Every structure is written in C-alpha cells, then in structure tokens.
Structure 1
Amino acid sequence: MKEKKGQILVVDDNPQNLRVLGSMLKENGYRVALAENGIEAVKYAADKHPDLILLDIMMPEMDGIETCKRLKADDRTVEIPVIFITALTDTEDKLRAFNAGGVDYITKPFVLEEVMARVNGTIKRRMYEIERLEYMEKIEKTNEELELYSHILAHDLRNMLQVIDGYTDILYEEVPEKRELIEKISKPIGRALETIRDIRSLMKGKIEEIRETNLKKEIKDGIDAMTITFPRSTFRLHLPEEEIMVPANESLAQVFYNLLYNACIHNNNEVNVSVTVKREDRRVVIRVTDDGRGIDEEILPQIFERGKKSRESDGTGMGLYIVKRLVEHFNGTITAENLRGGGASFTVNLPSC
C-alpha cells in the first residue's frame, strides 16, 4: 500500500479506541503514533511535529480541551491541526473544543467514511499550508538577495557614472571646441544618474521604517533642490501654519522632488509651479500644479505605469512610476489631470498622524 505523506498522533485513554483508529489510519496509508494521555501527547508533538492530532476530549488528569490549549500555547506545536474525538453531543461542549483551537471533530462510535473524510481534508489543507509557507520563505529569501544585489549594482554604477561625469565637466572647460559633443555625452549620463537615484530612493523607501514624518519639511527639501537645479522656474508654496505629520519616511521628499522635476523638465526648464497643502478630515491633500503644456492625452490614463512617457520626453519613464510606488507604500494615492487653462496637476492624498 502506498504510504501518504503524513503522520497522525492519536490521543485517547481508551486502548480499544487507539487500536480502532490506528488500524483505520494505517490501512489508509498514514503513519500513526499513539498516546494514552495529554501529557504524553504534548511532549510527543513538541518533539516529533506530527501533521495532525486526533484528540479525545474526555480523559483523566488532563482532558482534551486543556491539552489542546497547551499545544496552541507552544510555538513548536501551535500550527498542528487538532481534530477532537468526542461522544458529546452538546453544542456548548463542541464550542469549547473549537474555542480551544480545534479545527474539526469526529464522533463515537467511529464511522470509517466520516473519520477518513475529515482526516483527509485536514491533512490536505495542512500539506498545502506547509508548501505555501515554504514557497513564501523561498520568495522572501530571493527578494532579499535581489534587493542586496540591486543596492550593490546601483551603488557601483552611480560611482562609475559620477567619475565619467566629472571627466566630461573637465573636458567641457578644457576643450571648448568640442562642447556640443560633450553636452551630448553628458545628457544621457545625467539621465542615468537620475534613474539610479530614483531606484535607490524607491528601495530605501521600502526598507526604512514608516514613522511620523514632517510633511512640510519634506516638501521644502524637494523645492530647495529644484530651485538650485532649475533657477529659471518659479516655485510657490501654500502651507497651513501648523505642522503636519504623516506616516512615511525621508523618501517622501523624493516624491515631491520627482513631481517638481517632472514639471520642469517637460516644460523647457522654465515653468511656474504651485504646491498647495490642505487637511481634509484625517487625511492630507497635496496638489502640485504647473502652467506648462500639460500631459499628452494619449498617455494620461497610463502616466504612472513603468516606462510611460510623452513623445517629447527623452527620459526613461521611471520617475512617476516610482512616485506612485512610494505614495502607495505610505498608504496614499496619487492622481494626475490636465487643467482647463493649461498645465497639469498631480494630487497626492496621504493619511495624517
């Protein structure tokens, strides 16, 4: 007879019941262990980790209810499913069994078909859960390794590109007759550095603990960086007087940096940008608007998808995708629309602390 993957511990103070159930289970391919009391059962389960426990309710010294409670209180045995064996028909007694942690029950006298139907169903669910947990552990380990490799790759690429960028700056000053060519070289290097920065920010935002974060400070940090990068653009900030705390981390500044950068870079680096912050119930709404040419209508519905960009854009299309991922990581939402009078508007909705 083909043996099934599963060991069952049968616990009953009646030797006859142990023999009957043991024979039923063995004939159906299960490995069987027997215990005559709750103390033996708790010790065996902690040492051997059976896949299922059939547990009699009415036993001397330690009854089945108490035995089940002890099993569920121990980290080594808490996940092992328990099916109660009972001659009781009182609904209240059955509720006590379920409240103690049982997943099912079988009644005396034993009916082979009922016993095997309940055992097979529980074992099948148990095996599925074990496989699922093992699979999730593998995925988690793989993700951790990929995250580490991504950090290393982004760090090394950034350092190499910064060295190349530094040399192009030197060439720009020392070889003026080749400045047009040098600018063509510098431009993709700058885009690559921006992309690496965005990816590192996304990874950092997911790794760092979410905590109370000063929203006004993060927005101001983003605007300060833009003022230096795009001196021909104008940035207006409309904030309430009181401090606003949101559940996020320092990567929130990258959200506003990217939104402001997006407004400037798609409008020839010269645009008027307004940032308005308002409280609405227990949330905070931040609107970033500009008076530029707006968003291509054909890509507006997919503007936050990876790789989406306008025809005029020479970027990677990663910036707004990363913005959306970070906002969602902070349990917020973001939308985009074109304004009737011209320009575009991005609305970020975040929970407040």
Structure 2
Amino acid sequence: MRSEGLRKKKDGSLVHVSILGAPIFIEGKQVGIYTIYRDITARKEAEQEKEFYDSLLRHDVANRNTIIQGSLELLAEEDLTEEQKAIVENALKASHSSTELIEMIRNLRRIGGEQSFALIDLHEVLSKVVSILEQQAKNKGIEIVYSPIHGIVKAGSLIENAFSNIIQNAIIHSNCSKIIISGKEEKRDGKTFYRISIEDNGRGIPADIRKNIFSIGVKGKGSPGSGLGLYLVKKIIESYGGEIVIREPENGKGTIFDVYLPKFE
C-alpha cells in the first residue's frame, strides 16, 4: 500500500509524508499494518514552487506579451518613417520570439510530466503539418513534396510539434528550394519502426554543428533562436520510444532528418 498525506509532528507542525504500508499476518490472520513514513515536504514545496512559476510563465508573461504584440501591430499601421517601421518590426520579432520560447519551455515541462498517449495516424499528423506550413514555404519559394505515410504509432499530441519544428527549421534556415518528406518501415533490433525522412536541398549544416545539433543551446551561426528547438524535438521523439538522427544526403547537398517511431502492432 502506497499513499501520501499530512502528518502532525511533536511540535504540532504538519509535514507531507509518503506512506508505505504492509499487512502483518499471524497464523493467516491480519493483526496489523507495518507502516513506514518518509518526509517529502521538500519535494512538495519544490512542486508547488514549480507550479507557481509555470502559472506565472503561462498566464502573466504570456498575456503581457500578447498586449505588447497587439500594441505594436496597431503602431505599425500608423504613418511611420522607414526607420520607425524598422524599430517596430524588430520589437515585434523579439516579442514573437519570446512567445515561442515560452511555448517551448511549456512543452519541455509536458515531456517531463504526465503525457496522454493515444494511437496516432502518421498521415493525418503530417498532412496537417504540411498544410499549415505550405504557405510559409511558398512565400520563400520552397516546394514541399510529401509522399503520404500510412502507419499507426502510439504517441502524444507533441508529435505534431516535433514534425512542425523540423520542417519549419528547413524553411527558415536551410536556404533550400525543396523539402521532401517520405517514409518507410524498417527493422531495428528485431522491432518494426517507421522511418520518416525530412530532406532539404539547402546549404547543409556544418559538421561541427551537426554532431551536437540535438544538444541544448546549439544553433546555427547568426540564428536568433534559443537553441531549444531540436533539443525539444529529440526529447519528444525519445519520450515515444523513438529516435531522431541527422545525416548528409549522398550528393552532399542539404540535410536529412530521420525520425524513427515504433510501429503499433
């Protein structure tokens, strides 16, 4: 028997405890319960503090960001000089980056906490992500070629964030003209996985960055990002029992991200 609760100390103060109990039997009859109490007050206080900062981040900071963005967007509609327009545009970019960073931190917390898993249709997720990002790609002269991937995996809602992040990285940073998304089944250590490959024909990623690309804080030169994006992707994929690897195409042009997810059978 395991549980948690509050208990009173000799001085009258209350402490959070975890309770582990085991029945005591004598000649087949239960005569009592052997109980062990462990003080978990420090853990409970840390959890409460964590919840407070999470609430602060999600509500107070995020709401203020929204107000700032709304005010800047209204200001941008005024009759401004070119210099003033540039200042407002830079402020808007910084505000949007701040909002994206908050969302990344929230998602990292979700990975570490309780996630709700379900059977996910890969084609449904990928086609949705492509439809959302297609216009952004077209605006940069990029063609997205998606070959439907039909398969079921057990994952959570963050899987959409993972694929979106990889594709958006290619759109924003790779200087490519085409992004190809394809998939196939593969056996790995006796288990069947879906390999989803996202390939661009851009400038590629330097070897010194590529080897640490999934580490926290790693980003391309001149990138304004936080360096959390691909680190977050890796954590999401691994939380679903999968793996993500990066490789260079055979022709040496561009980058391929391979996402491996266990097939649901």
Structure 2 letter corresponding to 1:201: N
Q: Report how far residue 197 of structure 1 moved.
A: 2.0
- The residue matched to 1:316 in structure 2 has which SS? coil
2:246 maps to what in 1?
336
The DSSP-based 3-state class of the residue aligned with 2:74 is helix
From 159, 179, 189, the counterpart of 1:273: 179
Q: Which residue, 128, 131, 134 being the options, matches 1:227?
A: 134
Equivalent residues, number: 230
Higher RCO (CA 8 Å, separation ≥ 6 residues)? 2
The amino acid of 1:38's aligned partner reads I
* 1:196-228, Cα deviation, whole Å (9 max, x unpaired): 222223334553311211111111222222123
Which residue is 2:8 aligned to? Answer: none
Partner AA of 2:73 in structure 1: D
* Cα deviations by residue, 1:308-344 (Å, 9 ceiling, x for unpaired): 1111211110000000000010010001123333111
- Structure 2: which amino acid aligns with 1:287? S
Q: Structure 1 CA distance, aligned partners of 2:88 and 2:194?
A: 45
TM-score, normalising length: structure 1: 0.59
CA distance 1:297–1:138, shift in 2 (3 Å): farther
Matches within 5 A, 1:174-323: 174-177=78-81, 178-205=84-111, 206-230=113-137, 231-232=139-140, 233-240=142-149, 243-267=150-174, 271-281=177-187, 282-323=192-233
CA gap 1:246/1:147 in 2 versus in 1, 3 angstroms: farther
Please give the alpha-carbon distance, in whole angstroms, between the structure 2 residues aligned to 1:311 and 1:272.
Answer: 22
C-alpha contact (below 8 Å) 1:202/1:251 kept by paired residues: no
What's the RMSD between the two structures over aligned residues?
2.7
Q: Is the 8 A contact 1:218 1:250 kept in 2?
A: no
Q: Displacement of 1:271 after TM fit?
A: 3.6
| SS at 2:199 equivalent | strand
Instruction: Report what 1:38 is aligned to.
Output: 26
The answer as to 2:75 corresponding to 1:171 is yes
What is the rounded CA distance, in whole Å, between the counterparts of 1:155 and 1:163 in structure 2?
14
Contact kept in structure 2, 1:263 and 1:271, CA below 8 Å: no
Q: Pick closer, same or farther for the CA change 1:221–1:307 going to 2, 3 Å.
A: same
Q: Distance in 1 between matches of 2:26 and 2:71?
A: 76
Matched AA of 2:259: V
Structure 2 residue 237 is the aligned partner of structure 1 residue 327: yes
> Which residue matches 1:81?
none
For residues 260 and 199 of structure 2, the distance between their equivalents in structure 1, rounded to whole angstroms, comes to: 15
Contact 1:239 1:278 in 2 (8 A): no
**Contact 2:244/2:259 (CA < 8 Å) preserved in 1?**
yes
Question: Cα deviations across residues 165-213 of structure 1 (Å, max 9, x unaligned)?
Answer: 1221111121431111111111221211222222223334553311211
Paired residue type of 1:238 = S
Relative to structure 1, is the Cα distance of residues 203 and 222 closer, same or farther in structure 2, using a 3 angstrom cutoff?
A: farther
Aligned counterparts of 2:51 and 2:257: Cα–Cα separation in 1: 32
Q: Which residue identity is paired with 2:217?
A: G
Q: Name the CA distance, whole Å, in 1 between partners of 2:209 and 2:42.
A: 34
Could you say what secondary structure the match of 1:299 adopts?
helix
Distance in 1 of aligned mates of 2:145 and 2:212: 28
Matched, 1:155 2:62: no
- In structure 1, what residue type is equivalent to 2:232? I
8 Å CA contact retained: 2:174, 2:200: no
Structure 1 counterpart of 2:239, which letter?
H
Larger % of strand: which? Answer: 2
Structure 1 unaligned residues grouped into runs of 5+: 1-34, 50-75, 77-129
Tell me how far apart the structure 2 counterparts of residues 304 and 352 of structure 1 sit (CA, whole Å). Answer: 24
Shift of 1:143: 6.5
